[in-house]
Amino acid sequence: MVFVRLTGCNLRCDFCDTKYAFEAGEEMMVGEILSEREKYPSKWVCITGGEPFIQPLDELVGRLKADGSLIQIETNGTIFQPVTCDWLAVSPKKERRPVEAMLERADEIKIVVDSKAALDFAEEYEAWGTCHSVQPENNHEEATKLCLDFVAKHPQWRLSMQLHKLINIR
């Protein structure tokens, strides 16, 4: 999968591990992003951030799809845009909850777990999406234990580790 990480986010979660994405990065035209994307043969492109929906995505998504890419978007779900993608992963945050229009379109609900309270929060989102995952915050041992206990008792949820951190790639 190729990742397109967009700058900026409308939230400031305590556990955010991509704070650099609030400001860092360089301004690029959609055509320049497409040129970069061409260097990587993967069919799937993941558009993430930050929060990607704070920027208009229709041109980027439309041109990537026209080139034959499959598009996954990772979002906190607080901003609606009528963009069509192949997989929409909504990660609700307590700081500001997702809007219903995004939950209705969600394929995946992903909850970052830093405490038992996050698991109670997760259960509020079982009705949305077809795939449900809990992700231990920063792969912490305690959070991983909480998630493992949770998925053992809630088989509709799966464990999602941050694999890139486990194998030390960015």
Question: Among residues 49 and 129, whose Cβ is nearest to ligand SF4?
Answer: 49
Question: Among residues 15 and 65, whose Cβ is nearest to ligand SF4?
Answer: 15
Report the residue from 2, 3, 16, 80 that binds ligand SF4 according to the rule CB under 6 A.
16
Answer yes or no whether residue 73 interacts with ligand SF4 by CB under 6 A: no
For residues 104 and 99, give the distance between their C-alpha atoms in angstroms, rounded to a whole number: 9
Residues 26-65 that bind ligand SF4 (CB under 6 A): 49-51
Question: Among residues 51 and 69, whose Cβ is nearest to ligand SF4?
Answer: 51
Answer yes or no whether residue 18 interacts with ligand SF4 by CB under 6 A: yes
Phi then psi dihedrals of residue 151, to 5 deg: -70, -25
Q: What's the closest the beta carbon of residue 94 comes to ligand SF4, in angstroms?
A: 10
Answer yes or no whether residue 135 interacts with ligand SF4 by CB under 6 A: no
Sign of the CA dihedral running 125, 164, 150, 86: positive
Q: What's the closest the beta carbon of residue 7 comes to ligand SF4, in angstroms?
A: 11
